[in-house]
Structure 1
Amino acid sequence: MSTDTLLVRKDDLSSTRLHATADARLADGQVRVRIERFALTSNNITYAAFGEAMSYWQFFPSGEEGWGIIPVWGFASVSHSLHPGVAVGERLYGYFPMASAAVLTPERLSPDRLSDGAAHRSALPVVYNQYLRTRSDPLYTADTEDLQALLRPLFITSWLIDDFLDDNDFFGARPGAALLSSASSKTAYGTAFQLKQREGIEVIGLTSAANRAFCESLGCYDRVLAYEELGQVAADTPCVYVDFAGNASLRREIHTRFGNLKHSASIGGTHVDQLAASGAGKSLPGPRATLFFAPAQIRKRIGDWGGEVFGQRMVQAWQAFAARAANPRTPWLRVEHHAGGAAVQAAYAGVLAGRGDPRVGHILSL
């Protein structure tokens, strides 16, 4: 058997190639999983854009200078096991390479999860090294795997952003507004879904004119404005800015316009062509743009609430969001499947370029 992998140039994310390698023999304690489906969203482009700064390239080293493997969220089944606690056929949800297979070294096994103990991952955030065993995962249902792969990791980030802002009383911007850029992105509208439930916060989505109607149709924004309509928000409004786009010029405009800007959070980078300039945040007026790191809020809340309560709250929030997103009358998402190397490359190129319908979610397999 062999493993197919999509490699991406670290210094030119538009440059990709497919690489096939023969499956190596497993060592004692290792398992091989076949990755059956994974999601591709703008979140994965963020992983690549911040690959060096945030160590995303380190999860699945390519072994080739200048080339990286983008991590993705998806489902896999164990095809070969030399670990007594992991059976062939077991299904796992978690963080995988953009490939057809992966080798894991399971450790810290429990009935509901295991961790990859590979040496090169030991210093990386624990949350990304955990794999959930679907047979006992409270969020898992077999008929919603596509929805879970596409929305679950993004919504967890959304839920944590909302919780972080509320935990800090919106940094003094309540009553006031939350400005969300790239409002059509899944992480942004997941955040809006949560923020909409908070008292005293007007949720304002900023998007391109082309995506305005889509964002309005979601019903989770109090107002949706095209980027050029930012002037419709009063300049003295107490507000927080949640930047999902990574657009440096938009960030500067917001920091310059709003003298009552209380907090500026940077989440990702869907506008890849603007990322090189995003480091200019140090010279901006107002609060310093701060990168939001979800694992830090997870650690804090598990410390505050305990792991069991944290899990219960997350499950409840996910179930409410998933039910709305998958509402058969007005679904927020339509899934498209792409199988094989050429189809995966084409889908990746489209997501990287920001092309396509925001209602479409891409599920890939190599």
Structure 2
Amino acid sequence: MSTIDLLVRKDQLSTTELRRSEDVALNTGEIRVRIDKFALTANNITYAAFGDAMHYWSFFPVSASDGAIFGRIPVWGFGTVLESQHPEVTVGEKLYGYYPMSSSVVLTPTRLSLSGFDDGAEHRAGLHSVYNRYLRCNSDPFYSSDTEETQALLRPLFVTSWLIDDFMEDNNYFGAKAEGGPPAVMLLSSASSKTAYGTAFQMAQREGIEVVGLTSEGNVAFCESLGCYHRVLTYEQLDQISADSPCVYVDFAGNAGLRLAIHTRFTQLKYSCAIGGTHVTQLGGGKDLPGPKATLFFAPAQIKKRSGEWGGEELGRRLVQAWRAFVAITANPEAPWMTVDYHQGSASVAAAYKQVLAGGNDPRLGYILSLN
């Protein structure tokens, strides 16, 4: 048997290479998982854009000979156990979790329970546990066999969205929301992206908040159709918001020019939250900006905080409840927020990756890929 990997050049994300390698025998305690399907979204492009700074390249390293040049982008999806040298994991088990853009992967299950296990591979020991956890679908409260594609595409993004909203509420919107004062303006860039509109969906349920989606002219109609933004503006229409509005910038685009424009215009900008980098060709640092420092949001830190305060079971209950409400809206057959676009096979997966990297694709499309 052999494994196919889609490798991406770390310093030139448009350069890819499909590589096939022969599978080696498993060691005791290891399992081999066939990666049945995975989602590809702007979030995965963010993983690549921040791969070094946030250690995303470290989860599925490439061989030492060219690992400094190429990497495997992590994705979320479903897999099936093909081989097992672990006594507590059986062949045929279906797993949800963090995978490389590959046809299969070898994992070393540790901390096993009825719900799942961690990958105990040595190179992942220092990486955040949220990404190392694999869930057994037969006991996962999120799982439903008829919505696997929706789960792969939206679940990890929605968890981040939920945590961003919770983080803002937890910090009282950093002073932008004052009792008796005007609504706090939440500026969300890349408003057509799935993580952004998931965040807007949550924030729109809060009182005293105006959620403003910022997007390109071509995506205005789509963003307005979702109904989760109070206003949708193009990036050129910042002047339609009062310069002294108390506001928070939630940056999914990573566009350096847009960030500077927002920091320069809004005199009551209370917080600048960096989430992603969907505008790959316009990324830039946040030094020497007027107003607050642009601060990177790290979802696992908020998970850790809330797990400590509420307990893991209560956190899970709240997430599942919010997830079900979100899916009921996004998967409504009469007006779906997303349609699935399937790509199978090496050439098709590589082409889909370049489409997502380039941006400008239909925001209603959700890419589900398989190298098998």
* TM-score category, normalised to shorter length: over 0.9
Distance 1:10 1:229 in 2: 34
- Structure 2 residue 222 is the aligned partner of structure 1 residue 214: yes
Residue number in structure 1 paired with 2:38: 38
Residue number in structure 2 paired with 1:363: 368
Task: Provide the secondary structure at the position in 1 that maps to 2:14.
Answer: strand
Distance 1:87 1:305 in 2: 33
Residue number in structure 2 paired with 1:60: 60
In structure 1, what residue type is equivalent to 2:322?
A
Q: 2:211 aligns with which of 203, 210, 227?
A: 203
In structure 2, what residue type is equivalent to 1:58?
S
Task: Provide the secondary structure at the position in 1 that maps to 2:287.
Answer: helix
- Structure 2 residue 185 is the aligned partner of structure 1 residue 177: yes
- Counterparts of 1:205-244 in structure 2, within 5 Å, are 205-244=213-252
Distance 1:124 1:24 in 2: 25
- Structure 2 residue 134 is the aligned partner of structure 1 residue 126: no
Task: Provide the secondary structure at the position in 1 that maps to 2:153.
Answer: helix
Q: 1:160 aligns with which of 160, 163, 168?
A: 163
Q: What is the number of residues matched between the two proteins?
A: 363
- Structure 2 residue 358 is the aligned partner of structure 1 residue 353: yes
TM-score, with length taken from structure 2: 0.97
CA displacement at 1:321 relative to structure 2 = 0.4
Q: 1:257 aligns with which of 265, 275, 281?
A: 265
Task: Provide the secondary structure at the position in 1 that maps to 2:324.
Answer: helix
Bigger drift between 63-72 and 244-253 goes to 63-72
- Structure 2 residue 159 is the aligned partner of structure 1 residue 150: no
In structure 2, what residue type is equivalent to 1:71?
P
CA displacement at 1:282 relative to structure 2 = 2.1
Residue number in structure 1 paired with 2:180: none
In structure 1, what residue type is equivalent to 2:329?
R
CA displacement at 1:236 relative to structure 2 = 0.5
Task: Provide the secondary structure at the position in 2 that maps to 1:283.
Answer: coil
- Structure 2 residue 12 is the aligned partner of structure 1 residue 7: no
Task: Provide the secondary structure at the position in 1 that maps to 2:77.
Answer: strand
CA displacement at 1:274 relative to structure 2 = 1.4
Distance 1:197 1:298 in 2: 21
Distance 2:192 2:176 in 1: 23
Distance 1:239 1:42 in 2: 25
**Unaligned runs of at least 5 residues, structure 1:** none
Deviation digits for residues 71-128 of structure 1 (CA, Å, limit 9, x no counterpart): 0000000000000000000000000000000000000001001000000000000000
Residue number in structure 2 paired with 1:190: 198
- Structure 2 residue 79 is the aligned partner of structure 1 residue 76: yes
In structure 1, what residue type is equivalent to 2:273?
A
Deviation digits for residues 217-253 of structure 1 (CA, Å, limit 9, x no counterpart): 0000000001111100000000000000000000000
In structure 2, what residue type is equivalent to 1:282?
K
Residue number in structure 2 paired with 1:136: 139
Q: 1:298 aligns with which of 303, 309, 313?
A: 303
Residue number in structure 2 paired with 1:342: 347
Residue number in structure 1 paired with 2:92: 89
Distance 2:327 2:4 in 1: 32
Distance 2:190 2:287 in 1: 22
Distance 2:309 2:188 in 1: 27
CA displacement at 1:355 relative to structure 2 = 2.8
Distance 1:308 1:340 in 2: 39
Deviation digits for residues 303-323 of structure 1 (CA, Å, limit 9, x no counterpart): 110111000000000000011
Structure 1: which 4+ aligned runs deviate by more than 6 Å?
A: none
Task: Provide the secondary structure at the position in 1 that maps to 2:13.
Answer: strand
In structure 2, what residue type is equivalent to 1:193?
F
Q: State percent identity of aligned pairs.
A: 67
